[in-house]
Amino acid sequence: MTRLLLALAGVILLAVLALSLVWLAGQVLVGLGSFIVGTAGVLGRLLGYLLGTGLLAGLAYFLASAWRPTKGARP
């Protein structure tokens, strides 16, 4: 009878261990997913910022190079 109870306790402990490992793997995957989604959001906003900054810098460069005083003008 003792062997049967020990075997039953072993099976229950293995089941609890397996369930806890599945839960832990789920927690790790949720954390990893949150990190990936957060990183994608930050990189998306950075890309928008860089595109806007590049557009404004290009416009400023164009306007600065287009507006030049004439070479022979006297003040």
Confidence (pLDDT) at 70: 63
Residue with the larger pLDDT of the pair 18 and 74? 18
pLDDT above 80 for 8:
yes
| Per-position DSSP letters for 5-74, written without gaps between them | HHHHHHHHHHHHHHHHHHHHHHHHHHHHHHHHHHHHHHHHHHHHHHHHHHHHHHHHHHHHHH----TT--
* Chain centroid offset of residue 21 CA: 25
Tens-place pLDDT, residues 13-65: 999 999 999 999 999 999 999 999 999 999 999 999 999 999 999 999 998 88
pLDDT category, 75, cuts 50, 70, 90? low
d(CA 6, CA 1): 9
Spatial separation of the C-alpha atoms in residues 45 and 74, rounded to whole Å: 49
Predicted confidence band of residue 66 (pLDDT cuts 50, 70, 90):
confident
